[in-house]
Amino acid sequence: MLRYFLSRLLSLCLSLVVASVAIFAVVEVIPGDPAAFMLGLNASPDTVAALRAELGLEGGKLARYFDWIGGLLVGDFGVSYTYRVPVSELVLARLWVSLPLTVYALILSTVIAVPVGVVAASRRGSTADYGVMAATQLGIAVPNFWFAMLLVLVFAINLGWFSAGGFPGWDKGVWINLRALTLPAVALALPQAAILARVMRSSLLETLGQDYIRTARAKGLSRRQAVLGHGLRNALIPVMTILGLQFSFLLAGAIIIENVFFLPGLGRLIFQGITQRDLIVVESVVMLLVFAVILVTFLVDLAYAAVDPRLRRR
Amino acid sequence: MLSVEGLSLDIHGSPILRGVSFGIAPGEVFGLVGESGSGKSITALAAMGLEPRGAEVRGAVGFLDRDLLEVPEPEMNALRGREIGMIFQEPMTALNPVQRIGDQVAETLVVHGAATRAEALDVARERLARVGLPVDRFPLERYPHELSGGQRQRVCIAMAVALRPKLLIADEPTTALDVTTQAQILDLLRGLVAEEGMALWLITHDLAVVADMADHVAVMRDGRVVEADRTERLFRARAHPYTAKLFADSGHVPARAVQVTATPVLEVRGAVRDYPLPRRTLLGPRPAFRAVDGVDLVVHAGESVGLVGESGCGKSTLTRAILGLDVLQGGTVRIDGDAVHARHLDGRVRAKMQVVFQDPYGSFNPRHRVERLVAEPFHLDPAPPAAWRPRVAAALEAVGLRAADGGKYIHEFSGGQRQRIAIARAIVIRPRLVILDEAVSALDVSIRAQILDLLADLQGRFGLSYLFISHDLSVVRAITDRVLVMRAGKIVEEGPTERVFVAPGHAYTRALIAATPRIPSAWVA
Amino acid sequence: MRLPAQLWAGAALSGVFVAAALISLIWTPHPVEGMNIAARLKVPGDGFVLGTDHFGRDILSMLMVGAQTSIAVAVVAVGIGMAAGVPLGLLGAANRGGWIDEIVMRGNDLVFAFPSLVIAILITAVFGPSAVNAILAIGIFNIPVFARVTRGGALSLWTLDYILAARVAGKGRLRISVEHILPNVANLLIVQGTIQFSLGILAEAGLSYVGLGAQPPVPSWGRMLAESQTMISFAPHLALLPGMAIVLTVLGLNLMGDGLRDVLDPRLRRAR
């Protein structure tokens, strides 16, 4: 078990190092002089030089990389060029919108998809199964941002149940904010739930064909007992893989959805960073997103070991 | 106690069982034998109410004054596991991989409401000890992947007999196991039947196992019972022609004209093959597992040599090394005097040996026509014959197929025909040595007899040498001149086949032979 | 053998959009670049089959040309993914556990750590938004997908006896990969190809929607949606039509993929 944990941890660190090098290379090395890039074509050489000094671009590339990484490790993301505040402050504030949104969507997606997939698999070939398959087929085809627009049209503009966008802030209370995040979370979650339900269904169908299900039936378990008692846990292993991937899809999807609903999250921050050529912000937010994805992959690996004893020995 | 009457079963309209009838008395062992596809397993599943979807069952299965086919599903659930237990062929996949063995055995009791979980675990401990898995060596917390195949089958048995059912159905319970393990499992089943007064319905393809175990036997073919009787009487009389043929085929010894010379074709000297194991500590050295440990082996021109051993003894590893597919850590392999090096092996040398594998279904690329499949070894010929088609046609005809079959795809052939095609591919470049790696193990006895005849015939015609690798002692005895017994990477005994079988020198060989089920010779005389 | 109905339905549905894209190369009902303020925000049917937008441009024509963009981006992105991913997967499987395999797998993990949108954001932040950069971002993300599918399929084939037989016939790993492995993983690749195609269309729409894809004046479905957003309360058809175009195309491709899987997978074929 310890071996497995350590090997996953090593892989986590390795991924982080390589990812950070890749991001650093794309942002700070390929464009040549980041300072000139950020200021645009009309900047005077003096301003460029001043910004270079401010950004600490004087040193060699290697030294700059280690400066950057060292800063990240202690929570120093640098100073935003446009906002003139530490990037960590910006990011932290926005994280409190993006992270709850992603988790909200992930929970919604799982809570909807797993039971639906289980029902469809255990009643294979029934009307319910065909209904689920048709609905999920449609769900996969719907772009989440368009779905978000439809939700706004129906539930905000026509019915007036929710606001069309905006975020009050956590100091205004929990419920009002959860309400504000509900439409975005639904828009994010339903297309992903469609995928997850299909994976759950096919994975459970596959385990139901296994010999140990027949053994369980021969022991006197009913179909239902065999499905829930022996099929489900084995079927969850591929579902966890998809859940891990979904986290990264949801996080990326949140970037777009935040634009639909005018939510002040990381997505909005990153687009502001791009339009204002604020590379420091873009670089830091991308690194943070990648870190989150790698961390979730690591957690999924640990969850495998919890579910599947065969992995623990390795 | 159990009486199957006129049981018929259709799947999507095609008939699988046609009027199967037989009875099992309390406390007796009933054997149901037949070749693959005869419907013996599905008969048991139908009796248990576990037939596959789309199956339509007619007839009656009487059990304790009830017709099981009429019993509603909830009551069937209560019956399964409590009154009738069942074990299956594949112990490797029959257990839930993510649940502890103790819990899996205890579940039988819990699901029938016979005990609380704590009590059930006590019973599980006792039952597992009874089937040979005492708790001090096999704690209840073990997971299935930590056990061997034989041990897993013991867990399955403990699970099936946890509530002391009146009938235990065992569907090919030892087919996937080695002979010595098979003997232990059969002993265990016999003991349980005697102790618990339980009836055993044993389903198998192996006549010798039935002869050894059963009081009554029924022979099935194409969904029908062709003959049923007391075991000894049925074996002595062999009244039905199919029964008689099954007997003849299972003991078939092909006629061979042996022309062994003193010229060695294959010479293996001091072969050593290590496999690295995962590190035990994070940075420590990787321990190694020695799969082949100083093996010497010679096959002479025209000779058939058998290499027998149980799974994991290293015979497959040795085969791969001989074929030049794996590197040896020590020793040499010579074919016709030329050294075999896995890393740089000349096509000319490689062309002197070919191989036939066990699985007739995985041995061919499904996208190529048969003629291209058979012609593949011509790749070894530096100057591939321009007229390769006639040679492929000749090879196909030599194995009893038609030249026109070369234009077909592999899925158009049966398992036995595929094995013929595999042999055609092996002989098409006229090798000196053909390695037969469990080449007849997956075949039914009637097909196996034909393939053995074919191999004997080809050996005479083309002067081939065979290295016959198998776990099946009776086959090796039927077709080889000399035999080597392998265990844990070493050759423990070597000698002329008859001598080794009649007067085995090594304790392990004796154990192997003793473990092999046999039909009493008085019955077949 | 009967082809499944969903294959036909899917092929017909996606065929409509491919045809629309092809026709738009030579003809559209109205010019897409011409603004016509007099005919702005017309509802469908009023002289224009699907109405007009706030500049008076014909929606049908824009959808047809937008199909071009979507399909072109998706095709090239799948092409990039296959061209790089399939050889990597084959090589990795042929040298299982070797350093090539290790690099392929670790490289895959790395790309998987970047959601495709994040790659696109990085690329556009540095090189500026354009259709080409969108293609690159989506294509890079496709590489590990195809590498994984190829490697997985190939690994299970490598354990089969016919591969051993080919090795006994003296064939090298590369030759076996091309002659025996590739044709037998082709099914998987075709099915995965249609899936990635539909995902590519979704991804392109998303990137264009946030302004990182095709730039004006090139019409694209995603940007049409972005532009319609502020008008959704009084001109909902502007938001509905491009969205439905995306949904129907993707639905068609997915149905086709599922149908192809049923037809091509020998395991399923036997079961039917």
Distance CA B513, CA B484 (A): 13
E strand or H helix at B461, and its extent? helix B445-462
- Asked if B367 and C183 come within 8 Å (Cβ–Cβ), the reply is yes
Q: Which residue has the tokens 């009738």?
A: B84
Instruction: Give the dihedral sign, CA B492/B498/B502/B503.
Output: negative
- Average pLDDT value for residue range C128-155: 87
pLDDT exceeds cutoff 60 at C131: yes
What pLDDT tens digit does each residue of chain B (525 aa) get?
899 999 999 988 889 999 999 999 999 999 999 998 899 999 999 999 998 888 899 999 999 889 999 999 999 999 999 999 999 988 888 999 999 999 999 999 999 988 899 999 999 999 999 999 998 999 999 999 999 989 999 999 999 999 999 999 999 999 888 899 999 999 999 999 999 889 999 999 999 999 999 999 999 999 999 999 999 999 999 999 999 999 889 888 888 877 788 889 999 999 999 888 776 666 667 788 888 999 999 999 999 999 999 888 889 899 999 998 888 898 999 998 888 887 777 888 888 999 999 888 888 998 889 999 999 998 887 666 677 888 899 999 999 999 999 999 888 898 899 999 999 999 998 999 999 999 998 889 899 999 999 999 999 899 899 999 998 888 899 999 999 999 999 999 999 999 999 999 999 999 999 999 888 888 876
Distance CA B118, CA B480 (A): 56
Give me the pLDDT at residue A31, please: 63
Q: How confident is the model at residue C269 (pLDDT cuts 50, 70, 90)?
A: very low
Residue C16, in any domain of the structure: no
| Whole-number Å distance between alpha carbons of A145 and A188 | 8
Cβ <8 Å between C123 and A26: yes
- Torsion sign across C-alpha atoms A263, A264, A266, A270: positive
Say yes or no: A224 contacts chain B, CB-CB below 8 A: no
Could you tell me the strand order of the sheet in which B353-356 lies?
A: B353-356, B433-437, B465-470, B304-308, B482-487, B490-496
Residue C33 has pLDDT above 90, yes or no: no
CA-CA distance, B100 to B452, in Å (whole number)? 44
| Beta carbons within 8 Å of B130's beta carbon, 6+ residues apart | B158, B192
- Secondary structure of B88-156 as H, E, C letters: CCCHHHHCCCCCCHHHHHHHHHHHCCCCCHHHHHHHHHHHHHHCCCCCCCCCCCCCHHHCCHHHHHHHH
Measured between beta carbons, the chain C residues lying within 8 angstroms of B322 are none
Q: List C-alpha distances in Å: A100 to A195, A250, A263, A286, B230.
A: 21, 11, 12, 18, 74
- Residue C203 belongs to what domain range? 71-271
Alpha carbons B62 and B42: distance in angstroms, whole number: 17
Residue B119 and residue B125: Cα distance in Å, rounded?
A: 10
Residue A54 within a domain: no
Q: Do B358 and C161 touch (CB under 8 A)?
A: yes
The conformation of residue B341, written as its DSSP 8-state character, comes to -
Starting at the edge strand found earlier in the chain, the sheet holding B288-300 runs B288-300, B264-276, B330-335, B338-339
CATH number of residue A260's parent domain: 1.10.3720.10
Nearest C-alpha neighbor of B372 from the set B395, B346, B399, B347 = B395
Q: What is the DSSP letter of B369?
A: B
Closest CB from A3, A218, A309 relative to B143: A309
Kindly state whether residue A51 falls inside one of the protein's structural domains: no
How close is the nearest chain C Cα to the Cα of A248, in Å?
6
Establish if B376 touches chain C: CB-CB under 8 angstroms.
yes
For B327, the token pair is 């590197």
State both tokens at B140: 């209840």
What chains are in contact with A, requiring at least 3 Cβ pairs below 8 Å? B, C
- Pairing relation of β-strands B55-63 and B224-230? unpaired
C167 touches chain B (CB under 8 A): yes
The total domain count for chain A is 1
Contact yes or no for B171/B157 (Cβ under 8 A): no
User: With contacts defined as CB-CB under 8 Å, which chain A residues touch B160?
Assistant: 218-219
Mean pLDDT across chain C: 82
Maximum separation of any 2 CA atoms in chain A, in Å: 84
When pLDDT is cut at 50, 70 and 90, the band that residue A58 belongs to is: low
Contact list in A for residue B146 (CB cut-off 8 A) is: 313
Residues 6+ apart with CB under 8 A from A269: A90, A91, A94, A281, A285
Determine whether the interchain pair C160/B358 forms a contact, defined as Cβ–Cβ distance below 8 Å.
Answer: no
Interchain pair B94, A214: CB under 8 A: yes
State whether residue B114 sits within 8 Å of chain A by CB.
no
What pLDDT was estimated at residue A238? 83
Q: Answer yes or no: is C247 within a domain.
A: yes
Check which CATH number belongs to the domain holding C166 and give it.
1.10.3720.10
To the nearest whole Å, the CA of C197 is away from the closest chain B CA by 27
Q: Which residues in A lie closer than 8 A to residue B156 (C-beta atoms)?
A: 215
Q: What's the rounded Cα separation, in Å, for the pair B223 and B58?
A: 13
Residue C41's pLDDT is 66
- Is residue B431 within 8 angstroms of chain C, CB to CB? no
Q: Which residue of C has its CA nearest to B361?
A: C161
Residue B218's pLDDT is 95
Q: How many domains does chain C have?
A: 1
State the smallest CA–CA distance between residue A16 and chain C in angstroms. 9
How far is the alpha carbon of C168 from chain A, nearest alpha carbon, in Å? Answer: 33
B234 in Cβ contact with B194 (< 8 Å)? no
Contacts of B386 (CB under 8 A, 6+ apart): none
pLDDT at C268: 44
Check B96 against A216: CB less than 8 A apart.
Answer: yes
CA distance C161 to chain B (A): 5
Q: Is the peptide bond before C217 cis (omega within 30 degrees of 0)?
A: yes
Query: C272 pLDDT exceeds 60?
Result: no
DSSP string, B219-238: EEETTEEEEEEEHHHHHHH-
Task: State the Cα–Cα distance between residues B519 and B517, nearest whole angstrom.
Answer: 7
Hey, are the CB atoms on B77 and A6 less than 8 Å from each other? no
Mean pLDDT of chain A: 84
Is residue A289 assigned to a domain? no
Of B81, B93, B97, which has the smallest distance from its Cβ to A219's Cβ? B81
For residue A230, the chain B residues in CB contact (below 8 A) are: 96, 99
- Is A14 in Cβ contact with C118 (below 8 Å)? no
Query: How far does B80 lie from chain A, in Å, by closest CA?
Result: 4
Of residues B427 and C268, which shows the higher confidence score?
B427
- What are the residues facing B221 on neighbouring strands? B224
CB contact under 8 A, C206 and A256: yes
Contact C165 B363 (CB under 8 A): yes
Per-residue pLDDT tens digits for A193-211: 999 999 999 899 888 888 9
Which residues in chain C have their CB less than 8 angstroms from residue B327's CB? Answer: none
Residue A98 within any structural domain of the chain: yes
Q: Which chains touch B (3 or more CB pairs under 8 A)?
A: A, C
Q: Does residue C157 fall inside a structural domain?
A: yes
Report CB contact under 8 Å: B355, C266.
Answer: no
Chain A positions touching C191 (Cβ under 8 A) are none
The 3 state secondary structure assigned to C125-144 is HHHCCCHHHHHHHHHHHHHH
How far apart CA B40 and CA B204 sit, in angstroms, is: 8
Q: Does residue B359 sit at the C interface (CB-CB below 8 Å)?
A: yes
- Separation of alpha carbons C6 and A133, rounded Å: 12
pTM: 0.84
Q: Residue written as tokens 């393990």?
A: B181
Residue whose C-alpha is closest to residue B98's, from A306, A239, A151, A269 = A306
Query: What is the distance, to the nearest Å, from the Cα of residue C231 to the centroid of all Cα atoms in its chain?
Result: 29
How close B519 comes to chain C (CA, Å)?
Answer: 34
CA B31 to chain centre: 18
CB contact under 8 Å between C162 and B363, yes or no, is yes
| Residue C49 and residue C60 in contact, taking contact as beta carbons nearer than 8 Å | yes
Question: Within 13 Å of residue A14, how many CA atoms lie on the same side as its CB?
Answer: 12
pLDDT, position B282:
60
Residue B490: predicted pLDDT? 93
**Contact status of B326 with chain A (Cβ, < 8 Å):** no
Angle between helices A144-151 and A232-260 (to 10 degrees): 70
- Determine whether the interchain pair C170/B380 forms a contact, defined as Cβ–Cβ distance below 8 Å: yes
In angstroms, rounded to a whole number, what is the distance separating the alpha carbons of residues C174 and A272? 49
- Determine whether the interchain pair C247/A141 forms a contact, defined as Cβ–Cβ distance below 8 Å: yes
Tell me whether residues C161 and B363 touch, CB distance under 8 A.
yes
Q: Which position has the higher pLDDT, A290 or C54? A: A290
Check CB contact of C187 with chain B, cutoff 8 Å. no
* Better pLDDT: B171 or A70: B171
pLDDT recorded at residue B77: 93
Cβ-nearest to A220 among B82, B143, B145: B82
> Do A244 and C108 form a contact (C-beta atoms < 8 A)?
no
Among A260, A274, A286, beta carbon nearest to C118 = A286
Q: Does B34 touch chain A (CB under 8 A)?
A: no
CA dihedral (C195, C199, C204, C206) in degrees, to 10, reads 160
Does residue A148 fall inside a structural domain?
yes
Alpha-carbon distance A238 to nearest alpha carbon in chain B (angstroms) = 14
Are the Cβ atoms of B95 and A234 closer than 8 angstroms?
A: no
Q: How far is B343 from chain C (nearest CA, A)?
A: 11
* pLDDT of res. B155: 95
Please list every residue in chain C whose beta carbon sits closer than 8 Å to the beta carbon of residue B353: 168
Residue A71: pLDDT band (50, 70, 90) is confident
Comparing CA positions, the residue from B319, B308, B260, B323 lying closest to residue B465 is: B260
Q: Do B357 and C165 touch (CB under 8 A)?
A: yes
Q: Does B113 touch chain A (CB under 8 A)?
A: no
CB contact under 8 A, B96 and A309: no
Counting as contact any 3 or more CB pairs under 8 A, the partners of C are A, B
Q: Is C42 inside any structural domain?
A: no
Alpha-helical (H) ranges within chain A are 2-24, 34-39, 45-55, 61-73, 87-122, 127-141, 144-151, 174-208, 211-219, 223-226, 232-260, 266-275, 279-307, 309-312
Query: CB of A221 within 8 Å of any CB in chain B?
Result: yes
CA distance A122 to C237: 40
Which of B323, B364, B365 is facing C168, going by the closest CB pair?
B323
Quick one: pLDDT at residue C2? 55
Domain membership of residue C52 (yes or no) is no
What is the domain extent for residue A253? Answer: 87-275
A109: closest CA among A15, A195, A231, A232?
A: A195
